[in-house]
Amino acid sequence: MAVEITVTYQGGLRCEAAHGPSGKTLHTDAPVDNQGKGQSFSPTDLVATALGTCMLTIMGIMAERHGIALQGATVKVEKHMSAEPPRRIARLPVVITVPGALDDKQKKLLINAAETCPVHKTLGANVEMPITWNWGG
């Protein structure tokens, strides 16, 4: 199934993106270190956001399927741009904190879910994405 996103340039290095199925919009701004004002997510910030939300979403699907309480879990993604040209995302270190007491089987299920989310798989060979897990936090 295809999803259409329409992006309109607003001027001043800002864009508005409209999600076709829902009609919801979001705005981007170029980051301060690349001529923008940094007043909203940058396009590369959205990549980091997509990684974190994708990981938690796929973990949530697995958690619901297997009766694991995942409410309150968090993902922190830190975006690091390359120091050398071309400008690109070089590293996205991820810290995943999962509350509650889980057994090894449940932990393995959630680890596999996070590491096989579509965004992680898409970025895989191009971006370093080390994952740190905090259990019971």
Rounded distance between C-alpha atoms, residue 92 and residue 87, angstroms: 15
pLDDT at 1: 87
pLDDT at 57: 98
The DSSP annotation for 72-136 comes to T-EEEE--EE-SSSSP-EEE--EEEEE-S---HHHHHHHHHHHHTSHHHHHHTTTSB--EEEEET
pLDDT at 137: 65
**Are 51 and 119 contacting, i.e. CB atoms less than 8 angstroms apart?**
yes
Average pLDDT of the chain to the nearest whole number = 96
Global pTM value: 0.94
Residues of the chain with pLDDT under 70: 137
63-75: pLDDT as tens digits:
999 999 999 999 9
